[in-house]
Amino acid sequence: MTSSIARLIALDSVNSTSSYLAGIAETMPHGTVVSAYAQTAGRGQRGNSWESEPGANLTFSMLLRPDGIRAAEQFSLSEAVALGIASALRHYLPDTAVCIKWPNDIYAADRKICGILIENSLLGSCIRHSIAGIGINVNQTVWRSDAPNPVSMAQIAGHGFDRDEVLERVCREIMHELSLPSAPRHDRYMQSLWGRYGLTYRDTATGEIFRASIRSIAPDGMMTLAPLDGAPERVYAFKEVAVII
């Protein structure tokens, strides 16, 4: 089978695969992947670090040159990456176990199995290129950080996995998702959302805790929540609301 990875740069150790890829992005083709056996300063959302036991998981970054995605619609790219990863993981794990937590974490069995951090480079009103930094918990079974709810593929399935095979499948599914029309993508993203019909949230500005369902996600990624007590809908950007787990 032809690889979906245009060029694979495999490193023993690096501070951040995304930082490394950013330094060479201008000369690399769409689909270039930088993967590391060990990553010493992997970055997560909100500036958090990403825990990964060396050699146990996948820590990699992928260069994407999306065709015609405007800067104002960049969340569509985030949806594509998340859907691609979710599709790949469903090949190995029960379909119903794998979901997307807004905006683009991947959950399996109600715990975090994958983190994604996408950094976009813009050219005028369009995306010139994007670097998707991805961490997938594959074979790690012991967690030493204070991450609240990590889980790995091995923990769910009860056996280990070939990391190279998983990497190839994930990249293939991301590239496939990006090749599809963007119009139906949002509906599939909404159908894959974790806790769509009700979770407990905390407003990070006020500290208020409330239960709500997800009413909609706007093209810019803003989330509209419908409180389950019938109160008026609330609209949030990322970091403005947190799920209480």
Q: What is the mean pLDDT of residues 218-235?
A: 96
**Exposed e or buried b per residue across 204-213, where buried means at least 16 C-beta atoms within 10 angstroms of its C-beta:** eeeeeebebe
Write the pLDDT tens digit of every residue in 131-143: 999 999 999 999 8
Q: Is the pLDDT of residue 50 over 70?
A: no
| % of residues, the chain, pLDDT over 90 | 79
Collapsed DSSP state (helix, strand, coil) of residue 168:
helix
Write the pLDDT tens digit of every residue in 88-113: 999 999 888 899 999 999 999 999 99
* Token pair of 147 as six digits: 């991450």
**Whole-prediction pTM:** 0.93
pLDDT recorded at residue 2: 58
pLDDT recorded at residue 1: 47
Domains of the chain: 7-192 (3.30.930.10), 199-243 (2.30.30)
Q: Is the pLDDT of residue 80 over 60?
A: yes
Instruction: Please provide the average confidence, as pLDDT, over all residues in the chain.
Output: 92
Residue 193 CB-half CA count within 13 A: 21
Bridge partners, 100 (sequence order): 106, 193
Q: What is the mean pLDDT of residues 69-76?
A: 88
Q: How confident is the model at residue 86 (pLDDT cuts 50, 70, 90)?
A: very high
With CA atoms as reference, report the closest residue to 28 among 51, 45, 8: 8
Q: Is the pLDDT of residue 58 over 90?
A: yes
Helix (H), strand (E) at residue 191: helix 185-192
